[in-house]
């Protein structure tokens, strides 16, 4: 079980607040295309990730491809916070 992915799912579900549970979020589903995150939700999601993992995201180098799935984004987070 991947706790980084689990925490990313929890933050995403909190931002979406549409009744989904973290278990319903697919690890390879496109976060933008499938869940329709708008710009405000994306900012809330990214701020929630920073709070959850107690880190500062590198917005200069963050690419849209890093946000394509829970698995990809969890990998990005692991690079910034290896102890996560």
Domain ranges of the chain: 3-80
Confidence category of residue 9, pLDDT binned at 50, 70, 90: very high
Residue range 51-60, pLDDT digits in tens: 999 999 988 8
Confidence (pTM): 0.89
Task: Answer yes or no: are the C-beta atoms of 31 and 69 closer than 8 Å.
Answer: yes
The fold of 3-80 is 1.10.1200
Q: What is the model's pLDDT at position 82?
A: 67
Mean pLDDT (the chain) is 90
- CA 71 to chain centroid: 9
81 or 35, which is more confident: 35
């Amino acid at each position: 079980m991947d706790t980084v992915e689990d925490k990313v799912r929890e933050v995403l579900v909190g931002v979406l607040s549409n009744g989904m549970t973290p278990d319903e979020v697919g690890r390879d589903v496109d976060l933008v295309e499938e869940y329709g995150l708008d710009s405000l939700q994306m900012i809330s999601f990214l701020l929630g990730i920073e709070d959850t993992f107690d880190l500062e995201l590198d917005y200069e180098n963050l690419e849209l491809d890093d946000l394509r799935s829970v698995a990809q984004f969890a990998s990005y987070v692991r690079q910034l916070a290896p102890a996560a």
